[in-house]
C-alpha cells in the first residue's frame, strides 16, 4: 500500500521549488489527481530553508548527487573563537531557518496579489524591508553626516550611507548641495513616468546607466551608487544598462507606501520563499494532492498507448527511482537537464552575534518595524587585492535579517550576501564585504561571526511541461535578488495548458473555511 | 507590543495551528469532525488527501481559533507531515486503544515532533475508540498485557465487549514521561473530545500567542501583529499595474 506502482495521475509535478509549488497551488481546486514529488528529503528545492543541522547534512550530501547541479562548492565554517560563558554563541539548531535563495518581494509584485486572491496569505506573515545602505570606502571625516552610522574613531574602515527613501528624503537631506539635489529631483520626477518619456532615454537604452545619469541629468558621480543599488543589478556598473535599470528603479519607488509608509518591499517570515513553497504545497495537499519526498522521476518510458484513440495526448508512462511505474497525463518540472553550467553567483549566509540595531532605524511613523535591511557594496568599493582593479568587480548585496524574521535566535542576525564574482575570489569578496559591514556598524559589544555557509549557485532551467518535442528554454529567473513576476506568468502559461478551456481565473479561490462571520482580520 | 486588556476589546483571540498525526484508521478525522461539527459517521471512508478545518475554543480569558491540519490518508508516504508540523503550535497524536501497534506509531510521531517541530509545541497523546472498551478495562492492565491481541484488527468479535488492548496506565506513564497531555476519547460518543482541545488551548503558553517572537509561535492570524505587513489593508486598491520587469 505504500507503493506508487501502477498509479495513474492527471498531473505529475517534479520538484517542490517555488514555480512548481505555485503551480500545485494553482491546480489545488481543479479536481485533478496530482502527484507532487521531490528528490530531496525536504521541501523547497533551490528555495529551501534549513536549520543548522539540515544545512550540515546538505553540505555533506549534495556532492554525492550530480543531478543537484543547482549548487556547488558548499562549505560551512563555525566560529573558531573559544567558547566561554561570556562569548555569545550559536543557539540550538532549530532556532535557525536559513534561506538558500532569499528574495525581496516588491509591494507591487503580482505574487502578493495572487497569494491574497488564493487565500493562502492567511498562513503567511510578511515583514517590512527597511533601510537601504550603500557602502563607501571613504572613512568618515567630514561628519555632520547624519546618514552615516559608523563611529568616528577606531580603525580605518568604510561607512554606510543611507539611500534616500523617495523625494521627501532627498529634499531634507543635509549633505547634498543644491545643484545635486535639483538634478536628483529631476531624475526622480522623470522616473515616475519614464515609459512616457522615451525620448529622454531611447539613445541610452543599451548604454551604461551611469553615463545616462551624468549626461542626461548631470547627476554627480557620488549619487550614482545609491541609484544603482536600487536596481539590484548583478553586473558591474558599466554593464548595467539604462533599459535594465529604469524599470527596476521605478518598481522600487512605485512600491513604496503601498502597504505602509516608507517601505516598498517585504520578506516572508520563517525562511523566505521556502515558506511560500510550503504553504502552496499544503494548500495543494488539502485539495487532494499527494506528496512524496525522496522520489525522483528516473525515466520516461514513452507515451501511454493510445489504443482507445479517443484522445491524442493521452499522457506518459513514467518510472520513478524505486522502479515504480506510473502514468500521468501531464508532467511538469525542471525537465530539460541543464548543461553542466558554470556558477552564476557566490552566496554566503552568516550568523552574527548582534541584532545590529543601527541598520534598522524605524522606517516611518505607523510603519511596521523593519526585519530586513539591505547593504550594497557598489562595484569598485572593495578591492580584492592590491593589484586587482576594484572597478572590475561586481557589486555585493547583503540582506540583513534580524531575529524578527524568524530565521535566527533572538539577539542575532543573519547576513545573506551574494555577488556574481564566482569561484574562490567570489567567496573572498563576500568575506571581505561581511567584515567591512560589521566594522562599519557601531555597536557594543562588537558583533562576532558565529557561523558561515558559503556556496555557488548555478542557473536552473525554468519548469516546463513534458512534451514530445521539448522546447529548450534555459532561463533563470530565480537567482534574481527580487522576485521576478515573470515566474508567475510562466507558471500561468503551464497551468493554462493543463487546464485547457476549463481554466477559469488563475489563483482565485474562496476561503476553504467559512469564517463564521467573526472576521477579526 | 500592544497590551491586551487595555482597551474595551472583547476577548483577545489568537489562532493556533494544530496538526493531527497518527496511524491510518485510528480516528483522526472523526475526532476533528466531532470537535468541529459534533458529528460522527460510523464507517467513515479513509480520508483522501488532506483536510483543513477551523474551530474556536472559548476560554475564560481568551478565544483560541484552532486551524486544524489533518494529514489524513497520506501517512503512508510520510512526506506531508514535516510540512504540516512546521511552525505548528500544537499536535494531536492519536492512537487506537484497541491496537497496540498504533501506540508504537504514535510514539514515533512524538519522537519526530520533539526532534523536528517547533521547540515549544504542545503535544497531546490521545487514545481513541474508548467506546470499544468495557468501562473498567483501563485499570486492569494485566489482562490487556497478558492477552496480546494476535492481530488487533477485529478484536471485538472474539473478545466480546472489551476490545481494549492498550491499558490506560501504559499510555499514561509514557505521556507523563514525555510531558504530553493525555486523554482517552471516543469520537463516537464525544467523550473527552472537547476536553482535549480545551486542554491544548490552555497549555499553549501565553507568550507564544502574544508575539511573533514567542517560542514556536506563529501565524497569529486573528490578530494584527505590530510588525506584520498587512497585505489586505486599506491601501491595496491595486498592485495592478505592477511593473513586471
Residue A120 in any domain: the answer is: no
Which stretch of A191-200, A216-225, B229-238 has the lowest confidence by average pLDDT? B229-238
The Cα–Cα gap between A252 and A171 comes to 18
What CATH number is associated with residue A88? 3.30.519
pLDDT tens profile A370-391? 999 999 999 888 888 766 666 6
Chain A contact set for B224 (CB, 8 A)? 521
Cβ <8 Å between A259 and B233 = yes
* CA max distance for chain B: 72
What does the pLDDT profile of chain B (245 residues) look like in tens digits? 444 444 445 678 888 999 999 988 899 989 998 998 888 887 777 666 667 888 888 888 888 999 898 876 677 777 888 888 888 999 999 999 999 999 999 999 999 999 888 888 999 999 999 999 877 665 544 444 444 444 444 444 444 568 899 999 999 999 999 999 999 999 999 999 999 999 999 999 876 664 433 333 333 333 345 678 888 864 444 443 433 33
Verify that A334 and A389 share a domain, yes or no. Answer: no
pLDDT in tens, A255-289: 999 998 889 999 999 999 999 999 999 899 888 89
pLDDT tens, residue by residue, B206-238: 766 644 333 333 333 333 456 788 888 644 444
CB contact under 8 A, B243 and A250: yes
Give pLDDT, residue B237.
42
Tell whether A206 and A160 lie within a shared domain. Answer: no
Mutate to test the interface with B, among A291, A490, A516 (most CBs of B within 10 A): A291
- pLDDT at residue number B231: 85
Question: Which class is B13-210 in CATH?
Answer: alpha beta
Region A353-359: mean pLDDT is 96
Domain assignment present for residue A520? The answer is no
Classify residue A238: in a domain, yes or no. yes
A27 — pLDDT class (breaks 50, 70, 90):
very high
Is residue A247 one of the residues assigned to a domain?
A: yes
Backbone phi and psi for residue A135, each to the nearest 5 degrees, phi listed first:
-80, 135
Residue A47 pLDDT more than 90? Answer: yes
Residue-level pLDDT at B105: 93
Identify which of A248, A362, A334 has the alpha carbon closest to the alpha carbon of residue A16.
A334
The C-alpha of A54 sits at a distance from chain B's nearest C-alpha, in angstroms, of 10
Confidence category of residue A83, pLDDT binned at 50, 70, 90:
low
The segment with the largest mean pLDDT, out of A84-98, A412-426, B226-240, is A412-426
- Nearest-Cα distance to chain B for A516, in Å, is 9
For chain B, the structural domain boundaries read 13-210
Average pLDDT, chain A: 86
Q: For A194-299, where are the alpha helices, taking DSSP H only?
A: 198-201, 209-217, 224-231, 242-255, 273-286
Residues A32 and A136 in one domain: no
Which of A2, A247, A410 comes nearest B243 by C-beta? Answer: A247
Q: Does one domain contain both A453 and A464? A: no
CA–CA separation, A93 and A302 (whole Å): 45
Together in a domain, A183 and A194: yes
Predicted confidence (pLDDT) at residue A130 exceeds the cutoff of 50: yes
Do A325 and A470 fall within a single domain? yes
Q: Is residue A7 part of a domain?
A: yes
Q: What is the pLDDT of residue A448?
A: 92
Shared domain for A406 and A452, answered yes or no, is yes
* The residue to which cell 511552525 is assigned: B87
What is the domain range of residue A395? 52-95+126-165+264-268+342-457
Check residue A341 and give its pLDDT.
67
Residues A318 and A353 in one domain: no
Quick check: A2 and B77 CB within 8 A? Answer: yes
Beta-bridged to residue A325, according to DSSP, are A319
The answer to whether position A380 is within a domain reads: yes
What is the number of domains present in chain A?
3
Question: Model confidence over A433-473: pLDDT tens digits?
Answer: 999 999 999 998 899 999 999 999 987 777 788 765 455 55
Average pLDDT over residues A478-490: 87
Same domain assignment for residues A175 and A205: yes
CATH for A181: 1.10.405.10
Residues A228 and A327 in one domain: no
Nearest one of A440, A492, A521 to A160, comparing CA atoms? A440
Residues A114-139 have a mean pLDDT of 90
Which residues does B20 contact at the CB level (< 8 Å), separation at least 6? B28, B29, B31, B32, B68, B69, B70, B71, B72, B91, B92, B94
pLDDT at A43: 92
pLDDT at B139: 57
What are the grid coordinates assigned to B166, written together? 492498550
Single residue among A201, A225, A255 that ends a domain in this structure: A255
pLDDT digits (tens, 9 = 90+) for B21-37: 998 889 998 999 899 88
Q: Which of A228, A255, A282 delimits the end of a domain?
A: A255
pLDDT band at A307 (very low <50, low <70, confident <90, very high): low
pLDDT of residue A511: 81
Mutate which: B20, B73, B79, vs A, most A CBs within 10 A: B79
Residues A198 and A245 in one domain: yes
pLDDT of residue B195: 95
Amino acid at each position: 500500500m505504500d507503493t506508487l506502482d501502477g498509479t495513474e495521475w492527471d498531473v505529475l509535478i517534479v520538484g517542490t521549488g517555488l514555480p512548481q509549488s505555485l503551480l500545485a497551488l494553482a491546480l489545488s481546486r481543479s479536481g485533478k489527481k496530482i502527484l507532487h514529488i521531490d528528490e530531496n528529503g525536504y521541501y523547497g528545492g533551490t528555495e529551501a530553508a534549513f536549520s543548522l543541522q539540515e544545512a550540515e547534512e546538505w553540505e555533506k550530501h549534495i556532492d554525492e548527487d550530480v543531478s543537484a547541479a543547482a549548487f556547488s562548492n558548499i562549505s560551512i565554517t563555525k566560529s573558531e573563537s573559544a567558547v566561554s560563558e561570556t562569548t555569545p554563541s550559536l543557539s540550538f539548531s532549530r532556532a535557525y531557518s536559513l534561506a538558500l535563495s532569499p528574495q525581496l518581494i516588491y509591494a507591487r509584485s503580482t505574487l502578493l496579489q495572487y497569494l491574497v486572491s488564493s487565500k493562502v496569505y492567511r498562513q503567511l506573515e510578511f515583514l517590512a524591508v527597511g533601510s537601504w545602505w550603500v557602502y563607501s570606502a571613504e572613512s568618515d571625516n567630514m561628519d555632520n553626516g547624519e546618514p552615516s552610522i559608523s563611529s568616528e574613531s577606531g580603525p580605518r574602515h568604510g561607512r554606510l550611507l543611507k539611500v534616500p527613501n523617495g523625494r521627501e528624503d532627498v529634499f531634507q537631506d543635509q549633505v547634498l548641495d543644491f545643484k545635486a539635489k535639483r538634478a536628483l529631483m529631476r531624475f526622480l520626477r522623470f522616473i515616475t513616468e519614464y515609459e512616457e518619456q522615451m525620448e529622454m532615454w531611447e539613445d541610452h537604452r543599451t548604454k551604461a546607466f551611469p553615463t545616462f545619469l551624468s549626461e542626461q541629468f548631470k547627476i554627480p558621480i557620488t549619487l550614482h551608487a545609491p541609484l544603482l543599488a536600487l536596481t539590484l543589478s548583478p553586473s558591474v556598473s558599466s554593464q548595467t544598462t539604462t533599459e535594465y535599470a529604469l524599470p527596476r528603479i521605478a518598481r522600487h519607488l512605485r512600491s513604496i507606501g503601498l502597504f505602509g509608509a516608507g517601505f516598498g518591499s517585504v520578506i516572508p517570515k520563517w525562511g523566505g520563499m521556502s515558506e511560500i513553497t510550503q504553504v502552496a504545497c499544503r494548500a495543494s495537499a488539502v485539495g487532494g494532492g499527494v506528496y512524496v519526498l525522496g522520489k525522483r522521476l528516473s525515466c520516461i518510458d514513452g507515451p501511454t498507448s493510445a489504443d482507445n484513440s479517443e484522445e491524442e495526448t493521452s499522457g506518459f508512462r513514467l518510472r520513478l527511482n524505486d522502479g515504480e511505474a506510473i502514468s500521468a497525463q501531464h508532467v511538469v518540472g525542471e525537465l530539460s537537464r541543464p548543461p553542466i553550467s558554470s556558477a552564476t553567483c557566490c552566496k554566503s549566509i552568516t550568523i552574527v552575534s548582534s541584532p545590529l540595531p543601527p541598520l534598522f532605524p524605524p522606517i516611518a511613523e505607523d510603519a511596521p518595524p523593519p526585519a530586513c535591511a539591505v547593504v550594497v557594496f557598489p562595484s569598485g568599493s572593495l578591492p580584492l587585492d592590491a593589484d586587482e582593479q576594484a572597478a572590475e568587480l561586481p557589486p555585493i548585496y547583503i540582506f540583513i535579517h534580524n531575529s524578527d524574521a524568524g530565521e535566527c535566535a533572538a539577539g542575532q542576525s543573519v547576513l545573506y550576501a551574494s555577488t556574481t564574482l564566482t569561484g574562490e575570489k567570489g567567496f573572498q569578496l563576500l568575506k571581505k564585504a561581511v567584515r567591512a559591514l560589521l566594522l562599519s556598524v557601531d555597536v557594543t559589544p562588537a558583533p562576532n561571526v558565529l557561523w558561515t555557509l558559503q556556496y555557488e549557485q548555478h542557473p536552473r532551467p525554468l519548469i516546463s511541461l513534458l512534451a514530445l518535442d521539448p522546447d529548450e528554454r534555459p532561463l533563470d529567473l530565480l537567482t534574481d535578488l527580487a522576485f521576478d513576476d515573470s515566474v508567475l506568468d510562466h507558471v500561468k502559461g503551464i497551468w493554462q495548458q493543463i487546464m485547457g478551456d476549463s481554466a477559469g481565473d488563475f489563483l482565485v479561490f474562496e476561503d476553504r473555511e467559512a469564517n463564521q462571520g467573526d472576521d477579526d482580520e | 507590543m500592544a497590551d491586551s486588556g487595555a482597551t474595551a476589546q472583547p476577548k483577545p483571540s489568537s489562532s493556533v495551528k494544530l496538526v493531527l498525526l497518527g496511524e491510518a484508521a485510528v480516528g483522526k478525522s472523526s475526532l476533528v469532525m466531532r470537535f468541529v461539527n459534533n458529528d460522527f459517521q460510523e464507517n467513515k471512508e479513509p480520508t483522501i488527501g488532506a483536510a483543513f478545518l477551523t474551530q474556536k475554543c472559548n476560554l475564560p480569558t481568551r478565544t483560541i481559533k484552532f486551524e486544524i491540519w489533518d494529514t489524513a490518508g497520506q501517512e503512508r508516504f510520510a512526506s506531508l507531515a514535516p510540512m504540516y508540523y512546521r511552525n505548528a503550535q500544537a499536535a494531536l497524536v492519536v492512537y487506537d486503544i484497541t491496537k497496540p501497534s498504533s501506540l508504537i506509531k504514535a510514539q514515533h510521531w512524538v519522537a519526530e515532533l520533539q526532534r523536528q517541530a517547533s521547540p515549544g509545541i504542545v503535544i497531546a497523546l490521545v487514545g481513541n475508540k474508548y467506546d470499544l472498551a468495557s468501562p473498567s478495562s483501563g485499570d486492569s492492565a494485566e489482562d490487556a498485557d497478558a492477552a496480546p491481541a494476535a492481530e488487533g484488527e477485529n478484536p471485538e468479535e472474539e473478545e466480546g465487549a472489551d476490545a481494549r488492548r492498550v491499558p490506560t496506565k501504559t499510555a499514561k506513564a509514557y505521556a507523563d514521561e514525555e510531558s504530553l497531555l493525555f486523554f482517552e476519547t471516543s469520537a463516537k460518543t464525544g467523550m473527552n473530545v472537547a476536553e482535549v482541545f480545551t486542554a491544548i488551548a490552555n497549555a499553549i503558553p501565553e507568550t507564544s500567542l502574544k508575539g511573533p517572537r514567542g517560542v514556536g509561535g506563529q501565524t497569529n492570524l486573528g490578530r494584527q501583529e505590530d510588525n506584520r505587513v498587512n497585505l489586505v489593508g486599506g491601501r491595496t486598491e491595486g498592485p495592478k499595474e505592477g511593473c513586471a520587469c
